[in-house]
Amino acid sequence: MARGIQFQGFGGLTYRASDVKPPEAPLIGLKAGSAGNFSIGDVDLFLTSHITPKMMVLSEIVFSQNVRQEFETDVERMLLKYDANDYLKMSFGRYHTATSYYNSVFHHGNWLQTAVDRPLVVEFADHGGLLPSQAVGASATGAIPSGSLGLNYNLEYGTGNTVRPLINQPDPAEINEENGNHVSGGLFIKPDWLPGLDVGGNIYHDRLSPEGTPVHIGQTIGSMHAVYMAPKFEFLGEGFFIQHKVQETHQTFNTPAFYALISHKLGTQWRPYFRYQYVNASSASPLYADVSLRHGPSAGIRYDFNDYLAIKTQYDRTYRRNLPSFNEALAQMAFRF
């Protein structure tokens, strides 16, 4: 067993140009408006240390660049992990929730994902995403005896801390959802007969008391995913149903969302990809009125120089309810070290 701290890092440089009018909240570290500009974005430090053969500590510390070209520090994950056996693997501390496959697998570090950015619904909450992406508490996962089906479970219980900026403003205000404790559970399969396939779903529930408002909101999030990852071919697809029930008014707001990404590697270095995403929130929603209806395609290509450096270019077209559609062009150099 390796002793001491194992260190890995991720970083990158992103360029963005957009014709969105009126200006909206930009991607992390970029400025609002149509003028093209550069950003470092997130600098991610990933550290692990084994304490015993079955116990380890995992830490993910992120330095995020804001629109003022200043860096803010956030401990994204800090976990004590104990793997009793294949059927019970526990974690205690600050974790990324299992509200989506994307959130569980693609942590901070743009090098990890094929596209330049994350789909809106699974973007980290502090970057404008819709899901409660982090919590502090306990989680467990493991295999369920099922032969070649490869059935697994995940369970979580913890306290969320979702603070989300409004994405329809150039200098966005934030909504502090003041989450109560959440409970979450899911099942997924990784069958032996088709390596790379992962299919499953998750249910998440908590209670919100948004700061500065007199309302209390019950939040339930259902998600399903179908993923196939092979050396050459990649498919990611997830669907979501987010429900908010306002206790005081008895109103219910339902927000369906999905994304799908497909890519195929050409040769050893080129990977073109196509993605479509969709979110349909009520304009009267107490939490997602800034999102409303948004959908559209993204197309891009990733070029891997080696196992540590990748160049990506991407074009986005976004359609909005009662607002003009807009275009974005993005380029990114992503690396790990």
SS3 labels along 169-183: CCCCCEEECCECEEE
Calculate what percentage of the chain has a pLDDT beyond 70: 95
Sort 299 into a burial class: Cβ within 10 Å, 0-12 / 13-18 / 19+: middle
pLDDT number for residue 209: 93
Q: Which residues of 218-235 are buried (b: 16+ CB within 10 A; e: fewer)?
A: ebebbbbbbbbeeeeebb
Residue located via tokens 């069958």 = 191
pLDDT number for residue 27: 61
Q: Average pLDDT, stretch 46-68?
A: 89
pLDDT in tens, 270-291: 999 999 999 999 999 999 999 9
pLDDT number for residue 188: 98
pLDDT in tens, 140-175: 999 999 999 999 999 999 998 899 988 887 777 888
Nearby residues of 149 by Cβ (< 8 Å), 6 or more positions away: 189, 191
Domain boundaries, the chain: 79-336
Q: How confident is the model at residue 30 (pLDDT cuts 50, 70, 90)?
A: low
CATH class of 79-336: mainly beta
Q: What is the mean pLDDT of the chain?
A: 92
